[in-house]
Amino acid sequence: MGNTVNPLLELIALRKEGIPAGIPSYCTANELVIEAVLEQAKRFGDSILIEATSNQVNQFGGYTGMKPADYRDYVWKIADRIGFPRARIILAGDHLGPQPFQNLPEATAMEYAKEMVRQYAAAGYTKLHLDTSMRLADDDPARPLSDYTVARRGAELLRVAEEAWGKLAAENPDAVHPVYIIGSEVPIPGGAQVKEEMQVTDPDAFAATVKAYKEVFSDFGLSEEWKHVIAVVVQPGVEFGDADVHNYDRTDVRALCAKLKDYPELVFEGHSTDYQAPNALKQMVEDGIGILKVGPALTFAAREALFALSHIEDEIVDDPAQRSHYVATVEQVMVENPKNWQKYYHGTPKEQALKRAYSYSDRSRYYMPDPRIEAAMQKLFANLEGADIPMGLLRQYMPMQYLAVRARRLRVEPRALVEYAVRIVCDDYNYATRPNFLAASVLV
């Protein structure tokens, strides 16, 4: 049962042959962004990785209101609508563990975490990041968690995932066995707040993590399951804050990447790779960072394009009462409901307003499902659908889209113009991870 090979194992196979291999992990729950990601992937014949986090999607609904099976169906519905094959989508879960429940004691938090992992595995997700790196309510706040404690909790979650997958495979012989990611050398969601918080993972710490997991797996009778662990999350020296990006410098991670050569069965997973230059992303893949997580940069690009369309709308629609007022609506909703940005955006009222609109951490993504913002977006699209947008005006606010329109690679259609902004971000990752990217680009 479960004879279909997980496509992510190809990363390991290629690496063992000395061939750099990587894949982007698109972490988002935004419908427009997912559609754009899938549309750009039509150029290629391989798999695409789409990821949900434990805060977005869990057994209680997360902040999206979706359980793991709901998110799966949500992505599949989008794929079906645009004609993208479900079989080419790798569904993944990120930071699966007690993170949403860390204010609870271990016994309770881990039971909740196990149920969450069970639901992800039962729903057919085939990449599971098991993250048990955070302290729980009854852990000593004055002491860091030991590698053994982190690994023990991770092994408990993996056992649950394996049991759930076994039941799934018994019902569906074509079920794909999940692969697992361990470790969590990452900052708070949405980007670091202080530059000094970021430190490249120590090579010895990476080795100690692997050693602890292997020992615990042996203790738990899970040694055979180690072959399904393909990556360790590390901090490779990339990060972003409200207004700055810490660029990848491969000299900073030379020792860490050299240590990876001792573990040919593994690659690194890098989080917060948003806003890195294409060449930097390509270097990361060459250096062994085979899984490149990106999230806020995708919704930032969509928000940027929606704002641009709103400015175009102001020029075209004479009657202010008929305009969508998209930019003002986003600001109003965020001000009225500050819980998703208030802890992250500091400074004067003016500085906070600028961050709500333009911060790299893009906390506005949490507000996109709000009915008022959704209605404003639909009105914006309706107002510009079929409108005769002057090319000079399009160039003023959407210069990249303008070039694509001039090259007859893009329609002057509002939704397509926004999705193209997301596709530009995806192409940075395609350049880094797909050997056939340049050839495919010529054909689209």
Residues 53-74: tens digit of each pLDDT? 999 999 999 999 999 999 999 9
Q: Is the pLDDT of residue 439 over 50?
A: no
Q: Is the pLDDT of residue 184 over 90?
A: no
Q: How far apart are CA 70 and CA 58, in angstroms?
A: 10
* 157 and 227 belong to one structural domain: yes
* 287 and 380 belong to one structural domain: no
Residue 70, Cβ neighbours under 10 Å: how many? 17
* 306 and 287 belong to one structural domain: no
Per-residue pLDDT of 201-255, as tens digits, reads 999 999 999 999 999 999 999 999 999 999 999 999 999 999 999 999 999 999 9
CATH number at residue 385: 1.10.400.20
Q: Which of 238, 265, 294 is the last residue of a domain?
A: 294
Residue 3 lies in a domain: no
Buried b (16+ CB within 10 A) or exposed e, 165-187: beebbeeeeebbbbbbbbbbbbb
Beta bridge partners of residue 240, listed in sequence order: 245
Instruction: Please name the amino acid found at residue 271.
Output: H
Residue 4 lies in a domain: no
Q: State phi, psi for 180 to the nearest 5 degrees.
A: -120, 145
Per-residue pLDDT of 109-157, as tens digits, reads 999 999 999 999 999 999 999 999 999 999 999 999 999 999 999 999 9
Q: How far apart are CA 356 and CA 335, in angstroms?
A: 9
Residue 2 lies in a domain: no
* 174 and 306 belong to one structural domain: no
Cα atoms found within 13 Å of the Cα of residue 101, Cβ hemisphere only:
22
Q: Is the pLDDT of residue 34 over 80?
A: yes
Q: Is the pLDDT of residue 399 over 50?
A: yes
Residue 1 lies in a domain: no
Contact 13, 234 (CB under 8 A): no
Q: How far apart are CA 271 and CA 426, in angstroms?
A: 16
This prediction's pTM: 0.95
| Model pLDDT, residue 4 | 81
Q: How far apart are CA 438 and CA 419, in angstroms?
A: 20
Q: Is the pLDDT of residue 350 over 80?
A: yes
* 99 and 207 belong to one structural domain: yes
* 156 and 121 belong to one structural domain: yes
Average pLDDT taken over every residue of the chain? 94
3-state secondary structure of 387: coil
3-state secondary structure of 325: coil
Q: Which of 294, 319, 339 is the last residue of a domain?
A: 294
Per the structure, the complete domain to which residue 135 belongs is given by 9-294
| Model pLDDT, residue 186 | 55
Q: Is the pLDDT of residue 440 over 60?
A: no
| Model pLDDT, residue 194 | 44
E-state strands within 164-288: 179-182, 229-234, 239-240, 245-246, 267-270
Per-residue pLDDT of 3-24, as tens digits, reads 689 999 999 999 999 999 999 9
Residue 277 lies in a domain: yes
| Model pLDDT, residue 435 | 82
Beta bridge partners of residue 90, listed in sequence order: 49
State mean pLDDT over 401-430.
97
Burial of 117 (0-12, 13-18, 19+ CB in 10 A): buried
Burial of 416 (0-12, 13-18, 19+ CB in 10 A): middle
Burial of 161 (0-12, 13-18, 19+ CB in 10 A): buried
Burial of 153 (0-12, 13-18, 19+ CB in 10 A): buried
Q: How far apart are CA 424 and CA 402, in angstroms?
A: 13
* 257 and 280 belong to one structural domain: yes
* 377 and 243 belong to one structural domain: no
Instruction: Please name the amino acid found at residue 348.
Output: T
* 278 and 310 belong to one structural domain: no
* 246 and 190 belong to one structural domain: yes
Q: How far apart are CA 146 and CA 216, in angstroms?
A: 12
Query: What angle is formed at CA 193 by the lines to CA 270 and CA 26, rounded to 5 degrees?
Result: 35
* 150 and 103 belong to one structural domain: yes
Q: Is the pLDDT of residue 343 over 70?
A: yes
Contact 207, 259 (CB under 8 A): yes
Per-residue pLDDT of 402-411, as tens digits, reads 999 999 999 9
CATH number at residue 76: 3.20.20.70
Residue 153 lies in a domain: yes
Q: Is the pLDDT of residue 35 over 70?
A: yes
Residue 71 lies in a domain: yes
What tokens were used for 113?
A: 């975490």
Contact 346, 242 (CB under 8 A): no
Q: Which of 267, 294, 321 is the last residue of a domain?
A: 294
Tell me the percentage of the chain whose pLDDT exceeds 70. Answer: 95
* 53 and 181 belong to one structural domain: yes
Residue 357 lies in a domain: yes
